[in-house]
Chain A
Amino acid sequence: SQKIEQNSEALNIQEGKTATLTCNYTNYSPAYLQWYRQDPGRGPVFLLLIRENEKEKRKERLKVTFDTTLKQSLFHITASQPADSATYLCALAGGGSNYKLTFGKGTLLTVNP
């Protein structure tokens, strides 16, 4: 069956360092992959989308990579700040219904000052 795994439930890093979050998937051929941020008590907010034919996407301090051979996406936040503390969700679209997303469980990132 299709499976998405975000390898770390929680990640603690020091302010100024680069945070790297991992999303692995099996039994999928996703057309694209998205990353969302979710703050406590709020709905997810879209951050980045990367398509299957793209290797890397950047937006300000954020970078996402997509390796369809390894079946893995890496999400990086450079020069991290305490305000980046949140849960980050990986979501995949594919399997014939590209408008539907399947979400991972998320990684709780805490950036310590």
Chain B
Amino acid sequence: NAGVTQTPKFRILKIGQSMTLQCTQDMNHNYMYWYRQDPGMGLKLIYYSVGAGITDKGEVPNGYNVSRSTTEDFPLRLELAAPSQTSVYFCASSSRTSGGYNEQFFGPGTRLTVL
């Protein structure tokens, strides 16, 4: 199992450009999440999904969009990039079993700089 994979690892964008951060998991998890992490700060939830075709906003959704057409993939779209979106982005996934909700598995992150 590769777990959660993210591409690209690094990216520099100019203000106003757009891009898609890719996230794929091979654990058949229903729940997927996008977080951003700024220096010295905790993880902030951008968007999440509870299954294919179902997405919802987290704490900091402005400037981002997501889609979930398959169980495996959960891309994050940045439209009209702004310097405030300079951050490290993490994708995560989790499952639910009879014992309740389980831990989240994180990808390696994408370091994005907007200049």
Contact = CB atoms under 8 A, between A and B. Distances in A.
B100 A32 contact: yes
Interface in A9-61: 9, 31-32, 34, 41-46, 49, 51
A92 to B, nearest CB: 11
B54 to A, nearest CB: 12
Interface of B: 4, 31, 33, 35, 40-45, 48, 50, 58, 90, 92, 94, 96, 100-109
B101 A98 contact: yes
B50 A99 contact: yes
A57 B85 CA distance: 38
The dominant DSSP class at the B interface is: strand
A101 B104 contact: yes
B107 A43 contact: yes
B108 A106 contact: no
A99 B104 CA distance: 9
Size band of the A side of the interface?
20 to 34
B96 A99 contact: yes
Interface of A: 4, 9, 31-32, 34, 41-46, 49, 51, 89, 93, 98-106
A44 B41 contact: no
A49 to B, nearest CB: 6
Residue among A43, A45, A49 with max Cβ neighbours from chain B (10 Å): A43
A103 B106 contact: no
B105 to A, nearest CB: 7
A89 B103 contact: no
A45 B4 CA distance: 12
A24 to B, nearest CB: 14
